[in-house]
Structures are given as C-alpha cells and as structure tokens.
Amino acid sequence: MSKLIEIARAELGYKEQPVNRTKYGKWFNLDGHPWCGVWVSWVYDKAGTPLPRIGYLKGYAGCQTAVRYFKDFKKIVTQPIAGDIVFFDWQNDGKHDHTGLFVRHLDDKTFLSIEGNTSSANNSNGGEVQERVRKYSQAIFARP
C-alpha cells in the first residue's frame, strides 16, 4: 500500500481550477463534478491497482454507491492500514459525505488521511488535495 500513499502524497497541494475542474475529473470523464471519489479512483489506478466498476467504468464518484458496494462485497474493515479507503459521515446520520485514503493511526480517536477535494473551510468540497487529521468516530474503512 505504500505506493498508493506515495502517489497520493505527490498530489498534495493540487487545486481545482475552476471549481470542480481537475485532471482527475478529465481522466474519469466526469470533470466539473465533486471529485473526492474520482481522486481516490485515480490514485488506485496510477498505483497499478485500479478499482472495479463501482457505478462508473473507472471506479466510483459517489460515496453512497461505494459504501454500499464495499458492504455488499464484505470489504469493510475495522483495523485500517495505509492505502485503505475511508468514508466520512460528518453528521453521523448514516450518509457518507466524503472519501479519501487512510495514511496512519495517530491515537485512539484520530488518524491521518489524504483526501481530494477538501479544505479547512469545506471538508467535503474544498477544492484541494490535503493531508487531514480525522476522527475514527466519523469514519468507516474499506480494503478493495
């Protein structure tokens, strides 16, 4: 999984230009739309382990579809490792709002992730690839 994290880290600081327009969206053939799942799909593809069709030919764009897929195929894990996919539920309402990649455990409550389309101003549609500290209580993990 270290190759996934290397590829993800190389993208840190990438910003959309204009809103929701990215090289990831162009690659995915869905430019101009929120791109957190598209970014995760792109990283997996560049690492040589492309995701299966999860709503789209090249992986996933929507968190709800992807979570359902990973649950159906019993790919949800409770002990994440570097490169696992993380899905965030900010309101703890069962609806996953955002996605990224698990990097490492920090403490009993938090972990480090790398995410596309995030920022401190907008967790789920912030326009940049960033490393973030997140809470386990708002996340589930999948290992494709």
DSSP state of 91: T
Specify the amino acid at residue 6.
E
3-state secondary structure of 40: helix
Average pLDDT, the chain: 97
Confidence of residue 46 (pLDDT cuts 50, 70, 90): very high
Q: What is the pTM of this model?
A: 0.97
Specify the amino acid at residue 21.
R
What's the rounded mean pLDDT across residues 133-141?
98
- CB 95, CB 74: distance < 8 Å: no
The pLDDT score that the predictor gives to residue 2 is 86
Please say if the pLDDT value at position 144 is more than 70.
yes
Which of these, 115, 91, 95, 94, lies nearest to 103 by C-alpha position? Answer: 115
What's the rounded mean pLDDT across residues 89-116?
97
What's the rounded mean pLDDT across residues 32-59?
97
Residue 56's DSSP bridge partners are 59
What's the rounded mean pLDDT across residues 49-70?
97
What's the rounded mean pLDDT across residues 84-113?
97
Any idea which fold 2-142 has? endopeptidase fold (from Nostoc punctiforme) (3.90.1720)
Spell out the domain ranges in the chain.
2-142
What's the rounded mean pLDDT across residues 56-76?
98
3-state secondary structure of 23: helix
What's the rounded mean pLDDT across residues 56-70?
98
